[in-house]
Amino acid sequence: MTRLISARALAPLCAVLALAACNDSQPTAQSPAPPPPQVTVATPVKKLVTEQDEYVGRFVAVDSVEVRARVSGYLDAIHFKDGQLVKKGDLLFTIDRRPFETSLLQAQAGLAQAQANLAYAQSDLARGQNLVRGSTITEQTYDQRTQAKAVAEASVAAQEAAIRQAQLDLDFTELRAPVSGRIGDRRVSIGNLVTGGTGGTTLLATIVSTDPIRFEFTFDEASYLRYTRAAKDGGSASRGVALPVKLRLIDETAFTHEGKMDFIDNTIDQTSGTIRGRAEFANPDGRFTPGLFARIQLPAGPPVESLLVPDVAIGTEQVRKIVLVVDADNVVRSKYVTLGSVVDGMRVITAGLSPDDRVIVNGLMRARAGAKVTPQEAGAPAPAPASAGAAKAQTN
């Protein structure tokens, strides 16, 4: 009896389990696949672009002068502050003038004496002319008076030259700036003996001009040939001289300083295979200093129509550069490209891209080559998000 009741009690439980098994055997509805990721695409920009070559170089002064004494003496005064800007003709140093003033006075006295001797010789010769006619004096005496007059004239000329030399030495005691520019620090203090002349002279200071200033750099043989050919094609025989150039300093990001080429050397260095070029820039505020490093841009050729894309759209695959494009089926494809220079924040693509390619410019992290995406043209309004009710209806 007990066993029969237990079997009856288990019957409802078996029915529940069988119903559950039937429900589990029915297929369940799968969750919908996520939509393709949304990316922003844009076609390359067409623009006339002049390719630029970049080089590193240094600034050099147009004029660089060492201030040295021309006469020896004790330094009496310094008339500038170290590092200041000076103009051509400004007084810089003064050497003790007193010995040279004395020498000038001595030369002037010697001239006066020579002139007095000349006057006496001239009058003595004039008297001799009348006496020799009357045979009062001999021809020999007359010739001696003529010679004395010539000696007196030579003496006057020598004393006049001595005065000019003494005056010149006196003028040399004041050392003035030979060029306009920035002077360095003084090399000699007041009271020291400075040596003048032509050898072993004392260096007192240096002056370098600042405006304009030159920029020197070197470039390779291939670039030199390209510039000369471009100049000949343009009907110029300047070998690239007078080309417009741009420059940026090491703490700047853009080439904002404009100048022009003014010199290309006449020989190529056989050890390095490079040739020296030089450009000139205005420097009214003195920002550019001789010896300062900078980068310079030269036009590599005439303007050509080029394709440009945002620099952020370019990726790297090992050593090659790629961009992701979307084809007609909205599938992502990768293209290997060759890069040019950066123009207004856009990168020039010299090879590997077509004008009608749809380049992914935003959403690169969501795109994958071979996968589908939902492209949106750059500048188009984004689609409005679905309402809560619509989203619920789609879920249901």
Residue tagged 């094609």 (tokens): 233
Does residue 86 belong to any structural domain of this protein?
Answer: no
Q: For the chain, what is the mean pLDDT? A: 82
| Same structural domain, 278 and 309 | no
Tell me which amino acid residue 189 is.
S
- How many distinct structural domains can be found in the chain? 3
Q: Could you tell me the two tokens for 4?
A: 């029969």
Residue 229 included in any domain:
yes
Q: Could you give the CA distance from residue 59 to residue 289 in angstroms, rounded to a whole number?
A: 6
Answer whether residue 340 shows pLDDT above 70: yes
**Whether residue 313 is found in the same domain as residue 285:** no
Q: Supply the CATH number for residue 263's domain.
A: 2.40.30.170
In a domain, 2, yes or no: no
pLDDT digits (tens, 9 = 90+) for 28-49: 556 677 888 888 998 898 888 8
CATH of residue 162? 1.10.287.470
Residues facing residue 128 across a β-bridge: none
Please tell me whether residues 328 and 262 are part of one structural domain.
Answer: no
Higher pLDDT, 307 or 7: 307
Label residue 23 exposed, middle or buried (CB < 10 Å: 0-12, 13-18, 19+). exposed
CATH number at residue 330: 2.40.420.20
Residues 239, 262: one domain? yes
Query: Do residues 260 and 295 both lie within one domain?
Result: yes
pTM of the model: 0.64
**CB distance 230 to 74 below 8 Å:** no
Last residue of a domain, one of 279, 299, 319: 299
**What residues contact residue 16 under an 8 Å CB cut-off, 6+ apart?**
none
Reported as a single tens digit per residue, the pLDDT across 182-216 is 999 999 999 999 998 877 899 999 999 998 999 99
Residue 163 domain flag: yes
Residue 3 lies in a domain: no
Boundary residue ending a domain (299, 332, 352): 299
pLDDT at 4: 43
Query: How would residue 377 be classed by pLDDT, with cut points 50, 70 and 90?
Result: confident
In a domain? residue 200: no
Of 341 and 168, the structure prediction assigns the larger pLDDT to 168
> What 3-state DSSP class applies to 55?
strand
Could you read off the pLDDT of 347-367 as tens digits, one per residue? 888 888 888 889 988 888 888
Residues 264 and 294 occupy one common structural domain: yes
Q: Which has more confidence, 13 or 264?
A: 264
Q: How far apart are CA 395 and CA 29, in angstroms?
A: 12
Q: How far apart are CA 352 and CA 323, in angstroms?
A: 9
Same domain, residue pair 356 and 319: yes
Residue 308 lies in domain? 39-48+304-377
Contact 338/352 with Cβ under 8 angstroms?
A: yes
Report the distance separating Cα 355 and Cα 325, nearest Å.
12
Domain-located, residue 10: no
In a domain, 79, yes or no: no
Q: How confident is the model at residue 247 (pLDDT cuts 50, 70, 90)?
A: very high
Helix H, strand E, coil C: the string for 164-225 is HHHHHHHHCCEEECCCCEEECCCCCCCCCEECCCCCCCCEEEEEECCCCEEEEEEEEHHHHH
Cα 331 to Cα 255: distance, rounded to the nearest angstrom: 39
Of 253, 269, 299, which residue constitutes the final position of a domain?
A: 299
